[in-house]
C-alpha cells in the first residue's frame, strides 16, 4: 500500500512529524516543500502563509480535531490546531472559516503551545 507522506515541522525548540492525507491541497503543499515562514498564533492555533494558492475543497470544515493540520484558503495559510481557538465553543479547535484537511500531527500536538508569534517555522519532507 502507498504510505502517506510525512513532513517535519520545526519551530524554535519544538519539532514534530505529521502525516499528510492524499487530498489535492496536501499534494500541492508537499510539492511546495521545503517552506520557511514566521508563525502567527490565534488561540491554540499556529498559522502562516505558504506559497500554495488554491480554493476550498468540497469537504472543508471549520470544526477540527486537536492535532489536525489544515490549509486556510483566504490567507493561503498552513494551520496547526492544538487546542481551543477564539471561535471554539467547547474543547475542539474551530477555524475562522472552513479549512482543507492536510493531515495529522504524530504524537502530542500540544508541544506547539511553546511556540510564540514571530518564531521562524520550517516545514520539510521527512525521510
* d(C-alpha 101, C-alpha 7), whole Å: 15
Confidence tier at 2 by pLDDT (50, 70, 90): low
Q: What percent of the chain has pLDDT over 90?
A: 96
Q: What percent of the chain has pLDDT over 70?
A: 98
Beta-strand runs (E) in 12-119 = 14-20, 35-38, 40-41, 45-49, 61-63, 68-72, 77-81, 94-105
> Is 40:117 a contact under the CB 8 Å cutoff?
yes
* d(C-alpha 8, C-alpha 17), whole Å: 4
Give tens-digit pLDDT for 86-122.
999 999 999 999 999 999 999 999 999 999 999 999 9
116: how many CB neighbours lie within 10 A of its CB? 11
Mean pLDDT calculated for residue range 55-78: 97
Amino acid at each position: 500500500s502507498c504510505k502517506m507522506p510525512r513532513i517535519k515541522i520545526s519551530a524554535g525548540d519544538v519539532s514534530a512529524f505529521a502525516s499528510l492525507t492524499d487530498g489535492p491541497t496536501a499534494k500541492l503543499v508537499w510539492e511546495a516543500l521545503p517552506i520557511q515562514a514566521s508563525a502567527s498564533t490565534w488561540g491554540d492555533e499556529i498559522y502562516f502563509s505558504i506559497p500554495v494558492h488554491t480554493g476550498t475543497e468540497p469537504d472543508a470544515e471549520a470544526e477540527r480535531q486537536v492535532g489536525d493540520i489544515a490549509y486556510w484558503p483566504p490567507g493561503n495559510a498552513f494551520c496547526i490546531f492544538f487546542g481551543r481557538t477564539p471561535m471554539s465553543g467547547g474543547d475542539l479547535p474551530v477555524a475562522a472559516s472552513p479549512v482543507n484537511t492536510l493531515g495529522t500531527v504524530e504524537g502530542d500536538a500540544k508541544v506547539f503551545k511553546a511556540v510564540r508569534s514571530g518564531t521562524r517555522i520550517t516545514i520539510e519532507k521527512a525521510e
